[in-house]
Amino acid sequence: MSDLDTTFASVARSMELYHRAEQVIPGATQLISRRPTRYAYGFSPAFAQSASGGTFTDVDGNTYIDWVSGIGAMILGYCDPVVDEAVKRQIDTGTMYSVSHPIELELAELLIDRVPCAEMVRFAKGGGDACAIAIRIARGTTGKDKVLFCGYHGWHDWYLAANLAGSDLDPHLFPGIDPTGVPLALKDTAIPFPYGDVETLEDLLRTNCDDIAAIIMEPLRSEIPPHGYLKRVRELATEFNVVLIFDEVSSGFRPTISGIQPLVNVEPDMAVFAKSISNGYPMGAVVGTRAVMQPASQMFISSTYWSDTLGIRAAITTLKEIERRKTPEVIQDTGRILKQKVAELITKHSVPAVCGGVDWHPYIRFDIGHLTPLVNTLFIQEMAKRSIHMNLSFYINAAHGDEEVSRTIAAIDDVFLIIRNGLDAEVIPELVDTIPQTDSFRRLVT
């Protein structure tokens, strides 16, 4: 333990609430990524009480440096005073109305100004919601049903239908997801393709050429795409007359203030945003070319809270603030420092690991053969004990400063030493005091 902390954080109250939640909330959490089984069960906090900047305080009174940033939603940091003040002012004039509010236009025009492919915009309340709208529009615009996808795109039927044919979601989400509750009639309507593999994508397009409405993909997650890959995907979508949708929910506005498109220099027909668009307020957006989006005026795509002004006000303010504060640069500077310092510790302790990934979302990857899952868990467990909430990557927000970085690096120094000693003494399993972290959904829910 570093001398910065003298006691390990206890999460007794968190676990008590978690067991209560299991009785009244199926699955105990609303988002799978909030389950403590995704971290170090019994060591990681399960319930937060408050948050500020780059930290949150749990129900046991422990304050954590938080590298999960509300699963990516916080880009400026928790309780950002400018965004929160704008939302509070909005509350005082009404949160939603019987008619539309002008700020709907303001946000639509701001996104059209910022995002290269955006000529028209629809709103949503979250990422899965926005993806479902994009797929509906693509199907409606093309008159075709099938969707080729790569990555994670939310919980809706159109996406989970992929697993009606087998285990297609395994490499895109995680193994073991039963499509229970998804109509069998949707079988073979959502077809996965592997990232970076142009040949397979082209084969799928040829085989199903009369039926494909859309290609939806995360243009990147942790690594910069292989040279020319996204450009080739764009060409194929055009050649086969298929709507290309970039799901930018997870990369969001960390790469640039306009999202990923200026960085990769490729324009899809549509793009989907949520999470970091509004710094923690419920919001999502679907943007696209006029040709693809205009037909949506004839489709039934309609919901009361999509006009909620709090998410919209938060999004307008967040987008303006990330430009004013040069947030992508700030976040990427932090990421570069983290990567460099973690790499130094990897060398110092001769830990079989790499610290890589894009600067706005670096990761640590252990490579220790069959011990890797246990070491992953041990890392998360020991970091949690040192009041650092993270899995194996850093979702950086602009409120993470020198203090957060240096305390995190001090903790990683401790934890890498524990791992090194554990490997040398061949006692890693004995050091793991919790359920080994798993990628299997079935394991998560049992």
Ligand X SMILES: Cc1ncc(COP(=O)(O)O)c(C=O)c1O
Residue 129 or 382: which CB sits closer to ligand X? 129
Residue 8 or 155: which CB sits closer to ligand X? 155
CB of 30 to ligand X, least distance (A): 9
Contact code string over 190-219 relative to ligand X, x by CB under 6 A: ----------------------------x-
Convert 407-430 to b/e letters by CB count within 10 Å (16 or more is b): bbbbbbbbbbebbeebbeeeebee
Stretch that binds ligand X, among 120-128, 197-205, 232-240, 344-352 (CB under 6 A): 120-128
Among positions 139, 144, 146, 153, the unique one binding ligand X when judged by CB under 6 A = 153
Residue 77 or 126: which CB sits closer to ligand X? 126
Compute how many residues bind ligand X; rule: CB under 6 A.
13
User: Mind spelling out the 3-state secondary structure of the chain?
Assistant: CCCCCCCCCCCHHHHHHHHHHHHHCCCCCCCHHHCHHHCCCCCCCCCEEEEEECEEEECCCCEEEECCCCCCCCCCCECCHHHHHHHHHHHHCCCCCCCCCCHHHHHHHHHHHHCCCCCEEEEECCHHHHHHHHHHHHHHHHCCCEEEEECCCCCCHHHHHHHHHCCCCCCCCCCCCCCCCCCHHHCCCEEECCCCCHHHHHHHHHHCCCCEEEEEECCCCCCCCCCCHHHHHHHHHHHCCCEEEEECCCCCCCCCCCCCHHHHCCCCCEEEECHHHCCCCCCEEEEECHHHHHHHHHCCCCCHHHHCHHHHHHHHHHHHHHHHCCHHHHHHHHHHHHHHHHHHHHHHHCCCEEEECCCCCCEEEECCHHHHHHHHHHHHHHHHHCCEECCCECCCCCCCCHHHHHHHHHHHHHHHHHHHHHHHCCCHHHHCCCCCCCCCHHHHHC
CB of 129 to ligand X, least distance (A): 6
Among positions 250, 258, 332, 334, the unique one binding ligand X when judged by CB under 6 A = 250
Question: Does 274 interact with ligand X (rule: CB under 6 A)?
Answer: yes
Question: Does 75 interact with ligand X (rule: CB under 6 A)?
Answer: no
Among positions 42, 53, 70, 126, the unique one binding ligand X when judged by CB under 6 A = 126
Question: Does 151 interact with ligand X (rule: CB under 6 A)?
Answer: yes
Residue 71 or 417: which CB sits closer to ligand X? 71
Stretch that binds ligand X, among 109-117, 151-159, 338-346, 401-409 (CB under 6 A): 151-159
Site for ligand X in 390-409 (CB under 6 A): none
CB of 246 to ligand X, least distance (A): 10
CB of 361 to ligand X, least distance (A): 11
CB of 218 to ligand X, least distance (A): 5
Residue 159 or 240: which CB sits closer to ligand X? 159
Q: Answer for the pair 261, 250: CB distance below 8 angstroms, yes or no.
A: no
Among positions 249, 312, 378, 431, the unique one binding ligand X when judged by CB under 6 A = 249
Residue 80 or 247: which CB sits closer to ligand X? 247
Among all residues, whose Cβ is closest to ligand X? 127
Site for ligand X in 217-236 (CB under 6 A): 218
Question: Does 247 interact with ligand X (rule: CB under 6 A)?
Answer: yes
CB of 290 to ligand X, least distance (A): 24
Convert 317-328 to b/e letters by CB count within 10 Å (16 or more is b): bbbebbbeeebb
Among positions 45, 128, 176, 311, the unique one binding ligand X when judged by CB under 6 A = 128
Residue 349 or 361: which CB sits closer to ligand X? 361
Among positions 67, 78, 152, 229, the unique one binding ligand X when judged by CB under 6 A = 152
C-alpha closest to that of 286 among 264, 265, 316, 306: 306
Among positions 76, 83, 111, 131, the unique one binding ligand X when judged by CB under 6 A = 131
Residue 42 or 284: which CB sits closer to ligand X? 284
Q: Kindly list the residues in this chain that would bind ligand X in the complex (CB under 6 A).
A: 126-128, 131, 151-154, 218, 247, 249-250, 274
